[in-house]
């Protein structure tokens, strides 16, 4: 499949590499010349802008650091929506605010481009990502061959932006689990160490109790 891929950072680079390994044809864009060269060495073509990367491709994928980057890449005059053909699915794998996902989704749908998808996971090199997909059933089925090149697990979460919400909930649960594990380890150390360690544990415990988590 012909894919436009924008964002070749710590997450995007291995995702793009796995798509190339799966036999897809990629046109890539990134601000880093080093990242672009690595993609070219792996078999990709480069584009001079997000608009050019989106043009003439069957799917567009973005993997960007923050909501501001996503808005710029999609909405600016030289962005994705200025170049993509009507009907081409747009896959955003960035971790951003649901409000931004809603904004981009409305703009994309207005011109006939179905959005969007979320991903979860850090083990991108092995192609083991989990994808939480915000899309209707027909679009989900269309995107499965592309997602399969980057991950092993994929689930349909509902309409546009629901994948983003599911990912944020997942991150919240992960954070709560990490706090619990840290508290448990602190208690273990406090039992096994000096009186000073016990006092340190009390200070840490008090700090955690002062925070409010939903």
Active-site positions read 167
* CA dist list (Å): 176 to 49, 181, 209, 214: 40, 9, 13, 10
Residues pairing with 134 in the sheet: 158
Pairing of strands 117-120, 90-92: unpaired
Residues pairing with 155 in the sheet: 132
Instruction: Decide if 124 contacts 37 (C-beta within 8 A).
Output: no
Instruction: Decide if 133 contacts 118 (C-beta within 8 A).
Output: yes
Query: Percentages helix, strand, coil for the chain, rounded to the nearest 5?
Result: 50, 20, 30
Helix (H) or strand (E) holding 129, with range, is: strand 129-134
**The total number of residues written for the chain in this structure:** 214
Q: Angle 33-42/12-21 helices, nearest 10 degrees?
A: 20
Instruction: Decide if 7 contacts 64 (C-beta within 8 A).
Output: yes
Backbone angles phi, psi at 125, to 5 degrees: -60, -35
Distance of CA 180 to the CA centre of its chain: 26
């Amino acid at each position: 499949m012909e894919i436009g891929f924008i964002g070749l950072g710590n997450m995007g680079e291995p995702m793009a590499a796995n798509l190339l390994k799966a036999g897809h044809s990629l046109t890539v864009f990134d601000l880093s010349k080093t990242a672009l060269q690595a993609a070219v060495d792996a078999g990709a073509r480069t584009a001079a802008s997000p608009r050019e990367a989106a043009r003439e491709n069957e799917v567009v994928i973005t993997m960007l650091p923050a909501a501001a980057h996503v808005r710029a890449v999609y909405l600016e005059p030289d962005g994705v929506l200025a170049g993509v053909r009507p009907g081409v699915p747009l896959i955003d794998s960035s971790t951003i605010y649901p409000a931004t996902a809603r904004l981009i989704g409305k703009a994309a749908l207005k011109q006939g481009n179905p959005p969007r998808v979320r991903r979860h996971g850090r083990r991108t090199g092995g192609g083991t990502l989990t994808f939480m997909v915000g899309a209707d059933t027909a679009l989900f089925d269309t995107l499965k061959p592309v997602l399969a090149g980057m991950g092993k697990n994929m689930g349909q979460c509902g309409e546009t932006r629901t994948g983003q919400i599911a990912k944020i909930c997942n991150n919240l649960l992960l954070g709560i689990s990490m706090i619990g594990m840290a508290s448990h380890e602190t208690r273990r150390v406090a039992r096994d160490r000096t009186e000073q360690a016990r006092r340190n544990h009390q200070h840490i415990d008090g700090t955690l109790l002062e925070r409010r988590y939903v």
